[in-house]
Amino acid sequence: MLLERRDFDAVRQEKGRLRSYLLASLKNFLAKAHRRATTIKRGEGRPLVPLDELLARERADLEPTDALSADRIYERRWALTLLEQVLARLGEEYRVAGSTRLFEELKQLLADDPDRPSQAQIARELGIAENAVKQAFHRLRQRYRLLLREEIAQTVVASDDVENELQHFIAVLQA
């Protein structure tokens, strides 16, 4: 680098020895190399994040994302898993009976979604009478309740506890 930059042209014999000049040049070179290496470690070229902003991010990461307690989250997941199991069993029954399409349409009515189709729309889509859809949905809900009771009965020891567990299940979902 000394030769490329023609640094020797600036060296004057009257200003000092060549050995001193080379030693100072080597020290400067090593210091710059060290600064470059540590700059890369510190994130060369990337914008710095202010410490206050970093601390605010850490505090936000530590805050709970859900207002529910851990117990309530656990209970809610249990209730939702139970509903999924019941719905899967019900879907399997309809599949075995050859009514998968009817089940898929009626299943939408179980959800509390404002965009769900009406019974009249389902009747038109399936090409059956609206009254038939109403009856099929009524039967689906009855079977859903029965399967839900069966699933809950599997989680309790005594059959007398099923009603209490069902009420607890409903309370968990409403919370």
Q: Would the pLDDT of 95 be above 90?
A: yes
Local confidence band at 161 (pLDDT 50, 70, 90 cut-offs): confident
Q: What is the DSSP string of 81-97?
A: HHHHHHHHHHHHHHHHT
Token pair, residue 18, equals 């060549």
151 assigned to some structural domain = yes
Query: Are residues 156 and 75 part of one domain?
Result: yes
Query: Are residues 149 and 79 part of one domain?
Result: yes
55 assigned to some structural domain = no
Query: Are residues 104 and 24 part of one domain?
Result: no
Separation CA 16–CA 29 (nearest Å): 20
87 assigned to some structural domain = yes
Percent of the chain with pLDDT over 90: 31
Number of domains in the chain: 2
Token pair, residue 141, equals 């809900």
Residue-wise pLDDT for 115-138, tens only, equals 889 999 999 999 999 999 999 999
Residue-wise pLDDT for 48-89, tens only, equals 556 666 667 666 666 555 566 778 888 888 888 999 999 999
58 assigned to some structural domain = no
Q: In 41-147, which ranges are E strands?
A: none
56 assigned to some structural domain = no
Separation CA 20–CA 4 (nearest Å): 20
What pLDDT score does 50 carry? Answer: 64
Q: Would the pLDDT of 139 be above 90?
A: yes
By residue range, what is the domain housing residue 164? 70-174
pTM value is 0.58
Mean pLDDT for 146-154 is: 91
What pLDDT score does 5 carry? Answer: 73
50 assigned to some structural domain = no
| Listed ranges 29-38, 75-84, 132-141, 154-163; the one with the highest mean pLDDT | 132-141
CA angle 123/124/129 to nearest 5° reads 45
Q: Would the pLDDT of 11 be above 80?
A: no
| C-beta atoms surrounding 172 within 10 Å | 17
What pLDDT score does 123 carry? Answer: 93
